[in-house]
Structure 1
Amino acid sequence: MSERLVMAAGLALLITLVLSPFLIPVLRILKFGQNVRDDGPKRHLKKAGTPTMGGIIFLVGIIASALLTAEQPTSLEMVTLVGVTLGFGLIGFVDDFIKVVMHRSLGLRAYQKLIGQFGLAFILIWVSVHWLGRGTDIAIPFTSIHLELSWFYYIFTAFLIVLMTNAVNLTDGLDGLAAGSSMIAGAAYVVIALMAAIHGVAVLAHETDMAVFAAAVVGGTLGFLRFNRYPARIFMGDTGSLALGGALASLAILTKSELVFTLIGGLFAVEALSVIIQVFSFQTTGKRIFRMSPLHHHFELGGWSEWKVVIVFWMAALICAVVGIIGYLPTLG
């Protein structure tokens, strides 16, 4: 089993490392460059024009690697993982295309993105519950308690999927931040998927292909970091960040670790929460809690270097991942 995990991560890493040097110049020629907010940190202005939509690169690596190394690549479980990941990536791609290629700064409207995201979330939930036998119970982290939510499971989980997927997107604001944090979360899901398969609580309990898929996420994001770390030569765009959010959310559903996902992705959740708090405070009191949201910009404007913010946030993501794994263990009982 360990050999397949290494192969999945290694192949995704190799594909990403090979494709990147070819695609980056192409994106430059096509002028698929990043737009930078005028109201953001001034040092970000020099990033304008850096190729974006680079998520396509590691998406190819992750999907190809997972399908080539999986024990049952055509199983409904693997098709679900791949399909949902590509679906969220497609929403991000359309959004990026409108903003970068058609030069419409807002991209897809919020309601359009939400319709697509909730649609994919309900498809993932419906397939998991009705075709894969996932059930409608929720495991409470750090306990052996499982709450039966019945029909409310669809609503609760759909909102959780959309929230956490967009939280990954919000984290993608500094060089390497989202890629590195997603790599750490993916590594945590390698461990969780293996434990779920061993204890027979996962949808894919008869094999360990979910761990293979998570390993491919680790390899793909690691390869992308070679070109995305500070100073970045390419950005993942919404294409990549939404796809990564969809991949992690799918793993959470199929391993029955929805609430644990909020721990493993604690950094993502805090980034999203900082935006919600900022907007709510400004609209109700006219005052801002943070210098700028998401939270990573608050520390930048406080004088931290971009690389320092990323390193500290990676460390926070690692702590969240460890806490999430520890919290998942009792739920297996």
Structure 2
Amino acid sequence: MFSIEIFLPAFISFALTVLLCPIFIPILHRMKFGQFIREEGPESHLKKAGTPTMGGIVMLAAFTVSSLAYMLNEPQIFPVILLTVGFGFIGFLDDFIKLAKKRSLGLRAWQKLGLQIVLTGYFAYVIMSDYPELTQIIIPFTGGQVAWNLGVLFVPFVFVAVLGTVNGANFTDGLDGLATSVTVVIAMFFVVLSLKIGSPVYITAMIMVGTLLGFLIFNTYPAKVFMGDTGSLALGGFVAAEAFMLKAPLFIIIVAFIYLAEILSVMLQVSYFKITHGKRIFKMSPIHHHFELSGFEETRVVAMFTVVTILCCFIGFIAL
């Protein structure tokens, strides 16, 4: 089952990432593309101001080059490339505007959402026109024997699943190595699942594993580079696309539970704050900041969330 051909995509993307980061990080320094730190954020994060961001460009470059090398023989990986690179580009626009104009706000909310909707709509079109069998999704804990044919509900379901996953990944990127560590575990889940059912998207999953492991060398605490929205939006697009190509979007709730917890913590915090006119559920959202302000070291929070993701992926395997 496991051969050098299976691991080769990960080796290629890992090597590209490790080679590109030392070249790209000094360029970011010279261009003064440093991270802006919110004043209302944890005080311990103020020392991170100026750390190069937009490292997601390296991730996208390694992922794209490695994936395109396989796409001619495996065209089924195109939708994964489409959503990963597409959301990465939206993130790049957001990051670039922030850094070029030296402000904390990049794309306007309506601009970012509009681009996300257009990209997600095109992804849904590609699935329905080229892979109509993927509109039947696997129900967890049925042994893969029960599939749900969404019919006309497929398109709205795609929008909810994709946009929720992408923005969940975006909120998860708040600590050194957090989004990277959590997503590399999720990517490994997709590797095993795709090999089990014989899907070629194991290639893009392996490529992402290699890319993230390479990036982790520079992104673990204390991070030498941050991925920015370029990277975090791309990761969300990758997770959503892999899940849909494997008929397993419902499994996102299980294996990407951390994404879900992060985005729900923000929604709950904002809603409760408005309803109660100033009261809060968490000390700060997203929830990883709540743990930080509760006395947990940053590295410990990252370790905890990664372990939770590993356990969730085990549950995901049980649910197959």
1 CA distance for matches of 2:76 and 2:296?
Answer: 43
Q: Where do 5+ consecutive residues of structure 2 fail to align? A: none
1:95 deviates by: 0.2
Contact 2:17 2:59 in 1 (8 A): yes
1:26 deviates by: 0.5
Q: Give 2:152's aligned residue.
A: 151
SS at structure 1 position matched to 2:132: coil
1:11 deviates by: 0.9
2 CA distance for matches of 1:196 and 1:66?
Answer: 20
Matching residue within 250, 268, 273 for 1:259 = 250
Contact 2:82 2:123 in 1 (8 A): no
1 CA distance for matches of 2:302 and 2:216?
Answer: 12
TM-score (ref. length: structure 2): 0.95
* Partner AA of 1:10 in structure 2: F
1:138 deviates by: 2.8
SS at structure 2 position matched to 1:209: coil
Q: Any idea what the Cα deviations from partners look like across 1:184-217, whole Å, max 9, x if unmatched?
A: 11111001111222xxxxxxxxxx4300110010
Correspondences of 1:1-333 after superposition (within 5 Å): 2-68=3-69, 70=70, 72-73=71-72, 75-143=74-142, 144-197=145-198, 208-286=199-277, 287-327=279-319, 329=320
Contact 1:176 1:310 in 2 (8 A): yes
1:3 deviates by: 1.7
Label 1:213 to 1:135 Cα distance change in 2 as closer, same or farther (>3 A).
closer
Label 1:78 to 1:135 Cα distance change in 2 as closer, same or farther (>3 A).
closer
Count of matched residue pairs: 316
Label 1:132 to 1:12 Cα distance change in 2 as closer, same or farther (>3 A).
same
2 CA distance for matches of 1:28 and 1:188?
Answer: 35
SS at structure 1 position matched to 2:151: coil
1:75 deviates by: 4.6
* Partner AA of 2:43 in structure 1: K
CA RMSD of aligned residues (A): 1.3
Contact 1:176 1:232 in 2 (8 A): yes
* Partner AA of 2:257 in structure 1: G
Larger mean Cα displacement after TM superposition, 210-219 or 148-157: 148-157
1:133 deviates by: 2.6
SS at structure 1 position matched to 2:133: coil
TM-score (ref. length: structure 1): 0.92
Between the two proteins, what is the percent identity of the paired residues? Answer: 43
1:229 deviates by: 0.2
1 CA distance for matches of 2:312 and 2:227?
Answer: 23
* Partner AA of 2:305 in structure 1: F
Contact 1:139 1:256 in 2 (8 A): yes
1:74 deviates by: 5.7
2 CA distance for matches of 1:119 and 1:189?
Answer: 26
1:247 deviates by: 1.1
Label 1:125 to 1:193 Cα distance change in 2 as closer, same or farther (>3 A).
same
SS at structure 2 position matched to 1:151: helix
1 CA distance for matches of 2:226 and 2:13?
Answer: 18
Q: Any idea what the Cα deviations from partners look like across 1:141-173, whole Å, max 9, x if unmatched?
A: 112332222111100121110011110010000
* Partner AA of 1:217 in structure 2: M
SS at structure 1 position matched to 2:175: coil
Contact 1:125 1:253 in 2 (8 A): no
1:130 deviates by: 1.4
1:126 deviates by: 1.4
1:136 deviates by: 2.6
2 CA distance for matches of 1:86 and 1:101?
Answer: 21
